[in-house]
């Protein structure tokens, strides 16, 4: 006697999607090889996938886990960042955003003027040993003073103050006052590993220095509360970069990124200048750190001590100083009429009215801020000393709103 059996029904497609994207071990295998823009687009397809992508991003861009390789207390380091405006850049920031790892790379952190003593002291307190280069003393304290007077003139022709050896050494760098290298030996997974942290003391501010990097693929930063990529489509989608003329990095530094998979252009590509908003390099477009052309990854700030007011009379602000900097990548003529080379352009605001120095992308905005700062500085220099000073950095975003 024949028995009839019901043909099993395939589960609805929606149910399959729900089951796949409810299991992190499954969807992690799908997401791990997708680019950031693809993940963002995928997250817009439905609520369940959006939820899965959000959870994936939280794990993939876990800054505390990322920093724990170098510091046993990442929250303490990030609190230092919040307090001083210290940022991470170079290959480490690129690795974090690219979700990759270069075993041979070190950690490059960039300090604003006046914070370098506190930063070096903090690094040393976590077991790192200072490794001076041949122009430095054995103890970095003989070179760095804890007493920085921000009410003194900011723009000083530094190289005129150095001897010939220092001039030759610093000529390799762009707007860098000094580099301090620290090393520490640890055991990881049963192996002895040498960790290296380089603290770069910038002449004016970190963004000014980063704008003079060798190429766009390393123009990424990590602050205490977010990570930013300045040219994300070029860097992470197209895997290409534009060489910045005038940068004084050695040729092998740029070659290293070519070997890691980036395609480097020496001039703008055909069509970049004609359609700037279609170009991943955005020539002649006004830019700001964190603008809509940047890729911004917010970071969990739980456990991070926020910045306090700079002085009793100063208005408190919570943002990182680097986020108030802007620039333009101009198109400069080359030896061939149809070709253009990139030229980074920004106006420096270095005044005793602001605790930090800023770069702005507009002549008009620069003149407006400088005029206001001159009047404000004249008043304060007549009334108070450095010990009763008021910093007016909180006004910078307000100037930007009026521009």
- Residue 349 or residue 334, greater confidence: 349
- Mean of pLDDT values over 316-341: 89
Residue 122 region, left (φ>0) first, then alpha (ψ -120 to 50), else beta? alpha
H/E element, 348: strand 347-349
Q: What is the pLDDT of residue 189?
A: 79
Q: In the beta sheet, which residues pair with residue 193?
A: 186
pLDDT of 380 higher than 90? yes
Q: Could you identify the residue written with the tokens 């980036």?
A: 262
CA distance 60 to 54: 10
Confidence of residue 217 (pLDDT cuts 50, 70, 90): very high
User: 1-5, 176-180, 188-192: which range is least confident on average?
Assistant: 1-5
Nearest to residue 116, comparing CAs of 148, 162, 157?
Answer: 148
Domain ranges of the chain: 14-60, 63-309+320-344
Q: How far is CA 18 from CA 14, 39, 43, 46, 50, in A?
A: 6, 17, 14, 10, 11
- Residue 158 or residue 222, greater confidence: 222
Q: What is the pLDDT of residue 12?
A: 56
- Mean of pLDDT values over 266-271: 91
CB distance 305 to 311 below 8 Å: no
Nearest to residue 198, comparing CAs of 117, 107, 311, 333?
Answer: 107
pTM metric for this prediction: 0.91
């Amino acid at each position: 006697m024949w028995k009839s059996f019901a043909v099993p029904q395939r589960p609805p497609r929606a149910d399959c999607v729900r089951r796949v994207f409810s299991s992190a071990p499954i969807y992690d295998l799908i997401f791990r090889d997708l680019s950031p823009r693809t993940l963002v687009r995928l997250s817009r397809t439905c609520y369940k996938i959006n939820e899965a992508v959000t959870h994936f991003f939280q794990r993939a861009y876990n800054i505390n886990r990322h920093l724990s390789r170098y510091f046993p207390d990442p929250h303490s380091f990030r609190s230092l960042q919040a307090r001083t405006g210290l940022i991470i850049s170079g290959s480490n920031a690129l690795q974090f955003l690219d979700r990759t790892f270069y075993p041979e790379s070190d950690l490059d952190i960039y300090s604003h003027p006046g914070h370098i003593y506190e930063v070096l002291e903090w690094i040393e307190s976590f077991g790192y040993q200072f490794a001076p280069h041949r122009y430095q003393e054995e103890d970095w304290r003989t070179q760095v003073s804890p007493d920085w007077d921000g009410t003194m003139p900011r723009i000083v022709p530094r190289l005129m103050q150095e001897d010939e050896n220092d001039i030759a050494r610093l000529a390799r760098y762009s707007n860098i006052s000094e580099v301090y290298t620290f090393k520490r030996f640890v055991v990881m997974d049963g192996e002895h590993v040498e960790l290296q942290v380089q603290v770069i003391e910038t002449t004016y501010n970190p963004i000014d220095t980063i704008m003079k990097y060798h190429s766009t693929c390393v123009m990424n930063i990590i602050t205490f509360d977010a990570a930013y990529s300045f040219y994300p489509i070029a860097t992470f989608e197209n895997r290409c970069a534009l060489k910045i003329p005038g940068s004084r990095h050695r040729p092998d530094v740029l070659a290293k990124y070519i070997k890691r998979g980036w395609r480097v252009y020496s001039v703008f590509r055909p069509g970049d200048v004609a359609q700037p908003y279609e170009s991943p390099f955005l020539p002649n477009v006004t830019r700001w750190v964190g603008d809509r052309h940047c890729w911004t990854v917010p970071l969990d700030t739980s456990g991070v001590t926020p910045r306090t007011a700079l002085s009793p009379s100063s208005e408190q602000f919570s943002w990182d100083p680097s986020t108030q900097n802007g620039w333009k990548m101009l198109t400069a003529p080359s030896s061939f009429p149809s070709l253009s080379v990139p030229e980074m352009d920004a106006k420096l605001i270095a005044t005793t009215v602001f605790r930090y120095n800023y770069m702005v992308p507009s002549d008009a905005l620069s003149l407006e801020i400088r005029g206001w700062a001159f009047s404000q500085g004249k008043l304060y220099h007549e009334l108070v000393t450095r010990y009763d000073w008021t910093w007016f950095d909180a006004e910078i975003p307000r100037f930007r709103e009026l521009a």
